[in-house]
Amino acid sequence: MPSRFLKLVNMELSNGTKSIGALVENDRKVVDLCALEPNIPRDMKSFLNGGMKLLNLASHTLNQNISTNSIEISQVRVKAPIYDPEKIICIGLNYKEHAIETKMPFPSEPIVFSKYSNCIVGPNDNILAPRSILKDELDYEVELVVVMGREARNVSKEEALEFVAGYTVGNDVSARDWQLKRSGTQWMLGKTFDTFAPIGPAILVNPLMLANNSGACANDFDPNSLNVKCTVNGNVLQNSNTKEFIFNIQEVISHLSKVMTLKPGDIIFTGTPSGVGLGKSPPVYLKNGDIVTCEIENIGQLVNKVKDI
């Protein structure tokens, strides 16, 4: 049976072919959309550049073929949903409780920094920790990630969600010693080591972008009201809801679009809730072999293992 929402994955088949698939059967199976519809690009960024036309084509293709064309998810390799965004934009201190635990004042406007595409890895990929240059202060941050679907410049808060292709799960991995203890503080460098931006497994397509809402009313999905959780080795360390945003998704997109043109495939990390390792007493940091699971309601679970190098 189809998912309540259209959830797309960037995948590699057993023969090495790249494709875009749609998750079905409670995310246990996937339908290869590119094999069924030649007009669907095999690259997610190219697909998103096609806008609502291709999103609706994917939805139609899935609905016409779901009963006979699904395969077990274990038969494909699910990769990062987007590996080459033009921009990776991050919002800092965007949950009230997180600002409190880090002893920082609530920002009066979004705090913005960047990552680069070298940081991106997908589900089940390793988070690499180069311990020769890192102290043992490697931290986790579960985040809702916005995937842009239309070019956005100077958009209002009221129209902002209409420019969103969908949402995925992210982990803003952070080397706290680099971020906070080096000269002048180094937010960007502390968060921009290779593999420090796991994302995935799927993009939950914004129902506003679909003509038929993929079987669900657009009002059924509110990105500003989603349960967000992070576990390390099965222990729950972050457990919150995007209702706790200081700046909601609409405010973030509108603010950013006044500074830069947001493009299809750009991704926005929207901040992390309380419970990060830095905020615990004593601090709890990631070590070699730890399994980090970031989970967001309706979207899915992103699982990565820490590996020292």
**Do 41 and 264 form a contact (C-beta atoms < 8 A)?**
no
Domain shared by 53 and 151, yes or no: no
pLDDT of res. 214 = 44
- Ranges of the chain whose pLDDT falls below 50: 1, 214-217
Instruction: State the CATH number of the domain containing residue 138.
Output: 3.90.850.10
Q: Note whether 104 and 248 are same-domain residues.
A: yes
Q: Is the peptide bond preceding residue 105 cis, with omega within 30 degrees of 0?
A: no
Number of domains in the chain: 2
Answer with the one of 35, 54, 78 that is the final residue of a domain.
78
Do 69 and 153 have their domain in common?
no
User: For residue range 236-264, what is the model confidence (pLDDT) as tens digits?
Assistant: 999 999 999 999 999 999 999 999 999 99
Residue 166: inside a domain: yes
- One domain, residues 136 and 280: yes
CB atoms within 10 A of CB 26: 8
Pair (238, 301) in one structural domain: yes
Q: Is residue 200 part of a domain?
A: yes
Q: What is the pTM of this model?
A: 0.94
Q: Could you say which of 78, 96, 114 is where a domain stops?
A: 78
Quick check: 186 and 179 in contact, CB under 8 A? yes
Q: Which pLDDT does position 218 carry in this prediction?
A: 55
Whether 167 is covered by a domain: the verdict is yes
Q: What is the C-alpha separation between 267 and 270, in angstroms, rounded? A: 9
| Same domain? 258 vs 292 | yes
Say yes or no: 62 and 200 in one domain: no
Domain residues for 247? 88-308
Same domain, 184 and 131: yes
Q: How many CB atoms lie within 10 A of CB 150?
A: 17
Of 58, 78, 98, which residue constitutes the final position of a domain? Answer: 78
First CA to last CA distance, the chain: 42
